[in-house]
Every structure is written in structure tokens, then in C-alpha cells.
Amino acid sequence: MIFNGRCICRGKAKGEVIKLEEPLSFLGGVDGSTGDLRVRDGNVAGKILVFPKGKGSTVGSYVMYDLMVHGKEPAAVINESAETIVATGAVISSIPMVDQIPSVRLFEDGDIVTVDATEGTVDIEGIVLKEVVSSVVSRNGKCILEKRPDTNRSFPGHWSLVAGKVEEGESPVDAARREILEETSIKVGEPLGTMGPLYVREGKVLFKVHVFHFDAGAQEPVINEENEAYVWADVGEAKKMKTVTDTILVMQTFLG
Amino acid sequence: MDLTREEEAILNGEQGEGKQKAMELVTALGKIYGADSLIDITSAHLSGASYKTIGDGGLKYLEDLVGGGATVSVPSTLNPVGMDRTRWKEMHISEEFAKKQLRIIDLYGQMGIKKTCSCTPYVGPNVPSMGDHVAWAESSALSFVNSYIGARTNREGGPGALAAAILGKTANYGLHLDEKRKPTVVIDADIDGSVFSYSLLGQAVGMAIGSGIPFFKNISPEVEEAKALCAAMAASGSIALYHVDGVTPEAGNFDVSDLEVIHIGEKELQDAYDKLNKTDDVQLIAIGCPHLTEKEMHQIASFLKGKEKRNKDIEVWFCTSTEIREKCAEDVKIMEKFGPVLADTCMVVAPIEGTFQRTATNSAKAGNYLPTLCSQKAMCRDISALMELVM
């Protein structure tokens, strides 16, 4: 599956992903002579190094050069947003680099990725994209969370916002309204807000999640067979529950 | 980004690999910051000169650049290095460090960069003019030429500024553009006007706003005061340009009547002082961040004349450039009764952490960086108060 980003330093590379969830300072974060990471297990040498963005000391550029001198540099660097330190390090060390990819969450450790930095493209082998919707259906600072059955294929036994697949030819907002009606029999109007899309990986499946906020009005949910139970929860209550990835983040965005 | 035909040719390697790499870097940085084109520069000032800060990776990078025949195409100066190049033993520097540091200076020299190493090139070897586009690293110096002189530069990093120096061009964005030089906040300052009060003012403003372009009222800095203000604001915040009502050359261009006004007075200055003072007991007093000017050398010498250093446990260093040290030979004689007058280095870029744990300075900039870059507990007071510690 090919994603488009932007060229920061030209070149091509293919390799295995090593991913960091947090911004990386090469100074202190990577050993310049061995390529060993100090912020997690692993080594960057020959890998496709994926992280959101650089941070920290400007000396980090020279740590990248040091890696290159020792033959321990990553095969390519992928960022969400390039900043000066890593961009400088990549260019002076001739490491292909792409930024403005949608999210580091596209990737998992061990993915085989082909980077064509000159064209700004990133090809992740063997993954399938599924477009889904997820909605905060709220009233008075609380929203509906539904409990998925233990037999569910995706996030079994977790509490979830009102979510489902986008059907062929359907717009995300229509899909959101349909799912809410099917799963709760609540009819909603225009969304109060939207965010994202967010990306969630589950094995080889990459979910692209379109997120909406709707007002439930005075309607009480009547759930269908897809879920076992529902509750009205605020952010504090949801934090104590086993929820699907990003549920809290999304609730915080819309409910405060 | 729109490149000229010649710039495209450089990017495609038609003028050699050295220029190609420089062009790749300048255009990559331009892309990140949304530049639409490149712009000719008249000078550069480079950071990344101390072996302590660039390490073996940086040294190898410079070796490779020189090996590839890179040379600068505009007048360029260099930041302070990790030691006085002749008196490094007085700074407790190891042979190994000294050897590598001297090699770094030599490599910059081979690229055509002036080998006096100072953070105040604007008082001597590298003085831009109003409206000049330049590529300067060194946060305090670039703020000085932006603000006090009215030249135009962004906060360049070491390799970016070097690439710009090689090309004679940098990416056209940010502070190169008229609309990005407008003040963002008014600072109503109430200070006593001493150089040290400007340091505290800068510290307080950086703490209050972080980034932005302050427009000062009720102050009238001369070179030394402006130098202290620049250095403090660039270290406690990331401020690269400010205007001073009735003083700096661009201040008259702006209507600031709609801007938020922040008052900096006794309370804010005290908070700034407290932030910079974390010890009452020191092993080293280091003065000259940014480097001492001729006027400051005279002032310190006249203050110290006829006095004696009684406390032998505290070392004293004065930091300036080679030119100023040579110009002020009489002052140096008096000052050296208290401690070495070191040239082309300073307490922040020298590896003092191998020798000292507690250091005093008159500089808000050093006060910010001594804890983070040199693992020191810091004290920050005005020069006379510091010198009284050893009298």
C-alpha cells in the first residue's frame, strides 16, 4: 500500500521498520558508533527508522553523520513532520528522508517498507486499508460507549464509541449516521465536530478512522445484537474502562 | 520552491559534490520552513566550532567537507571554540581535546572562514549593514544583527549556516521577509539601566513570552546592554529579533498601539534572578558571555586596579576575542592578577564539567546553559558583586 509524503532528502531504500512513538533526540537517543537505541530496545542500522519528529540538541545532526561514518545509519528516515536537526543530519549523511506521511501509526515494527524519497512515497508491503467511522454521541458531557462481545474480531471485550465500516460508495458522515441508527436507533443531525482521520493498526489491517461528534438530544439508545451493553460515560469514567484505542483521546477532544 | 537555472544546476551536481550537498541542505531547510526561493547573502557566522559540542561526528563531517574541496563564498566568521588555543592548559583541557579542537579550527580555516572565534563578530571582523540578508548561527549574535543593526537572518543552525556560506545563498523565509519582522508584543520595562539589569530583563522576557518579537519601551541600550539583552532572550526563550522604541533602526516602522503590553518590573526581575541563582558557593567565576567588548575590558580593569585577589580557592576567567585581548593589553595586565583573560572561548563551550561543579557568571545566557550543557550549579550576579567574592 503506497502513501504519499514529501521529499526531504533524495534517495531510495527498502528495509524493515523500527518505529518510535515519541519524538527522538539523536543526541542521547542513539549511540553514534553502534546504532543502538537508548530510548527503547533495538538498533537503527539498515532499518527504516520511523518516528513523529526530531527534538533536542542540534548536535543530533552530527550523531547521524557519526552513524554514517560507522556504517550504522538507518536505510531511510520517515517523519510526520521534519524539523531542522534531523533534516540536516539526513542531508549531510545522505540518508533518504520523507516527511508529511499521515501518521507513524501506519507502521509497525517489522513491516517491510520501500521508500522512494525522491518521489516522496512510502510503500508498506502486505497491509490492507479499511475505512471506518467512530462517533461521539453525547448529551450533557457524557457519551455512549458500547461493549463489544468477547467473540468480536476487532478489540473483543472492549468498550467502544459508536463505530463501524464505511460501505462502498458511502461518505464517512453518512456511514456514521447509519451506524448510529443501526446500533442505537438514535437519529442524529449534522455533526457538531470532526477530527482526524486517525490511524489504527491491528495486525496487517490499517484502519483509517473518520471521527465525528453528534448530539443525542433526549433520545435513549436501544442497542442491537452487535453489542452486549451500553453506558453513558464522561472522560473520567471512560478512563477506568477497557476502551478501544484512541477512545479517550477522541472523548477529550469533544467533551473536554 | 522556485530555483533559478543556476541553482538547479548546482542541485544536480554540475558544480561539484560540495556545492550539491550544500544546496540539498539549504533547499531541504527552506522546504521545511515554507520558503519560496533562495536569497543572496552578504555574510555568514557559523556555530559548531567547539569539539565539545560537535564531537567526533562533527569533526569527521568537517574533514569530509574539506576533503571535497568546500570553500565559503561570502565573508564568514566562527563561534567560540572549546579552549584558548595557546593557553588551554590553564583551562584544565586534555591533550586529546586540544588536538582535536585545533584540527577543527584548522579545517574551518581551510574552507576560507576567518579563524578568530567569537560570539560578538559584530564588534569587529563581521559587521553587516542595515537591510543585508545574512546567514548567522549563534543565537545572541544573530539577534544583535537583526535587532540593533537591522540586518536580516533566521536562527540558522551550524551546518545550515555553513551550507549557506558555501553557496552565498540561504532560503528566503521568516525574518528575511518584511511581514515577519513586525513586533508581536510590547514590553513596558522598568529597570535601573545597568548592563546586568538588561540581562535580567532579557531573562524575564524570555520566561514571559518564550518566542515572538518584543517591542521595548522605556529602555535605551547601547552596544553592551543590547548584547546582554539579546543573549538572555535567546537563551531563556527563542527570541531572534526585538525592537526598541527610539533606538533600533526598524522600530519606527510599526504601529504597536493594538499590541498586548507586558510590564516587566521589580517582581519579574526578581523571579528571573531566582531562576538563575541556584548556589551561593562557587569554584569558578567566568565573565564574558557574550565576549567582553573593549569598553567592558576597560571598565573591569578600572574596577580591579589596585585591588588584590585574596580568595585563592575560586578561579576567575575573563573571556573575549583575540582582537580585543590584543587591543586591551594594559587592561589585560590588571585583569590577569585575578585570572586568565582567555581568547576565543567561553565557559559554555569549554569542557568545564571535568573540573568544576559550581560556576558563577554575570550572564543570563550562561546562567541558562551552565546547568544544561555543563552540569553546573550556577550563580548569576553583576560583575562587581562577583569580583567581591574573591577580594
Query: Do residues B16 and B124 share a domain?
Result: yes
- Closest to A59 (Cβ–Cβ): which among B25, B54, B60? B54
Contacts within 8 Å (CB) and 24+ apart, B295-298? B295/B223, B295/B224, B296/B195, B296/B224, B297/B324, B297/B328, B297/B331, B297/B332, B297/B335, B298/B328, B298/B331
Mind spelling out the 3-state secondary structure of chain B? CCCCHHHHHHHCCCCCHHHHHHHHHHHHHHHHCCCCCEEECCCEEECCCCHHHHHHHHHHHHHHHHHCCCCCCCCEEECCECCCCCCHHHHCCCHHHHHHHHHHHHHHHHCCCCCCECCCHHHCCCCCCCCCECEECCHHHHHHHHHHHCCECCCCCHHHHHHHHHHCEEECCHHHCHHHHCCCEEEEECCCCCHHHHHHHHHHHHHHHCCCCEEEECCCCCHHHHHHHHHHHHHHCCCCCCEECCCCCCHHHCCCCCCCEEEECHHHHHHHHHHHCCCCCCCEEEECCCCCCHHHHHHHHHHHCCCCCCCCCCEEEEEECHHHHHHCHHHHHHHCCCCCEEECECCCCCCHHHCCCEEEECCHHHHHHHHHHHCCEEEECCHHHHHHCCC
Tell me which of A33, A57, A81, A94 is the catalytic residue: A57
Per-domain residue ranges for chain A?
A: 2-124, 128-255
Whether residue B223 is found in the same domain as residue B269: yes
Range of the structural domain that residue B201 is part of: 182-275
CB contacts, 8 Å: A60 with chain B: none
What pLDDT band is residue A27 in, cutting at 50, 70 and 90?
Answer: confident
Q: Give the pLDDT confidence score for residue B172 in this predicted structure.
A: 98
B21 with B170, same domain: the answer is: yes
Q: How far apart are CA A191 and CA A93, in angstroms?
A: 48
Neighbours of B373 (CB within 10 A): 17
Query: What is the mean pLDDT of the segment spanning A225-238?
Result: 96
Residues B54, B160 within the same domain: yes
Residues of chain B with pLDDT under 70: none
Integer Cα distance of B215 and B250 in angstroms: 10
Residue of A nearest to B160 (CA): A88
Shared-domain flag, residues B231 and B283? no
Judge if B130 and B52 occupy the same domain: yes
Residues B300 and B383 both lie in one domain: yes
Q: What is the pLDDT of residue A91?
A: 95
Are residues B128 and B218 located together in one domain of the fold? no
Task: Check CB contact under 8 Å for A84 and B29.
Answer: yes
Last residue within a domain, chosen from B178, B204, B223: B178
Q: Which of B275, B290, B310 represents a domain boundary (last residue)?
A: B275
* Encoded amino acid at B54, one letter: I
Q: Which residue of A has its CA nearest to B22?
A: A92
Which residues of chain B approach chain A closer than 8 Å at the C-beta? 21, 24-25, 28-29, 31-32, 48, 53-58, 60-61, 157-160
Model's pTM, two decimal places?
Answer: 0.88
- ipTM given for this complex: 0.81
CB nearest to A82's CB, from B25, B32, B60: B32
Query: For residue range B32-78, what is the model confidence (pLDDT) as tens digits?
Result: 999 999 999 999 999 999 999 999 999 999 999 999 899 999 999 99
pLDDT confidence tier of residue A57, bands split at 50, 70 and 90: confident
Is A61 in the active site?
no
Chain A CA closest to residue B158: A58
Same domain, B271 and B335: no
Query: Distance from B301 to chain A by nearest Cα, in Å?
Result: 37
Q: Which residue from B55, B60, B160 is facing A59, i.e. has the nearest CB? A: B55
Chain B partners within 8 Å of A92 (Cβ): 21, 25, 61, 159
Q: Domain A128-255's class?
A: alpha beta
A79 contact B CB<8A: no
Residues B249 and B133 in one domain: no
Tell me the chain A residues in contact with residue B57 when contact means C-beta distances shorter than 8 Å. 32, 59, 62-67, 69
CATH number of A2-124: 3.50.30.10
Q: Are residues B136 and B169 in the same domain?
A: yes
Q: What is the pLDDT of residue A154?
A: 86
pLDDT band at A196 (very low <50, low <70, confident <90, very high): confident
- Give yes or no for A59 touching B (CB within 8 A): yes
Inform me whether the pLDDT recorded for A59 exceeds 90.
no
Nearest to A91 among B25, B54, B57 (CB): B25
Number of domains in chain B: 3
- A88, B157: Cβ pair inside 8 Å? yes
Q: Which residues of A touch B158 (CB under 8 A)?
A: 58, 61
Task: Indicate whether B26 and B166 sit together in one domain.
Answer: yes
* Buried residues in B183-208 as b, exposed as e (16+ CB within 10 A): bebbbebebeeebbbbbbbbbbbbbb
Asked if A26 is an interface residue toward chain B (Cβ–Cβ < 8 A), one would say no
Q: Could B160 and A88 be called an inter-chain contact, meaning their C-beta atoms sit closer than 8 Å?
A: yes
Q: Which of A9, A69, A88 sits opposite B60 (nearest CB)?
A: A69
Predicted local distance difference test score (pLDDT) of residue B15: 92
Looking at the complex, report in whole angstroms how far the Cα of residue A38 sits from the nearest Cα belonging to chain B: 18
Pick from B275, B303, B329: which residue ends a domain?
B275
Q: Residue B89 belongs to a domain with what CATH number?
A: 3.30.499.10
Please state the rounded mean pLDDT for residues A95-115: 97
Determine the distance in angstroms separating the CA of A64 from the nearest CA of chain B, rounded to an integer: 8
A70 touches chain B (CB under 8 A): no
Question: What pLDDT, on a 0 to 100 scale, did the predictor assign at position A171?
Answer: 97
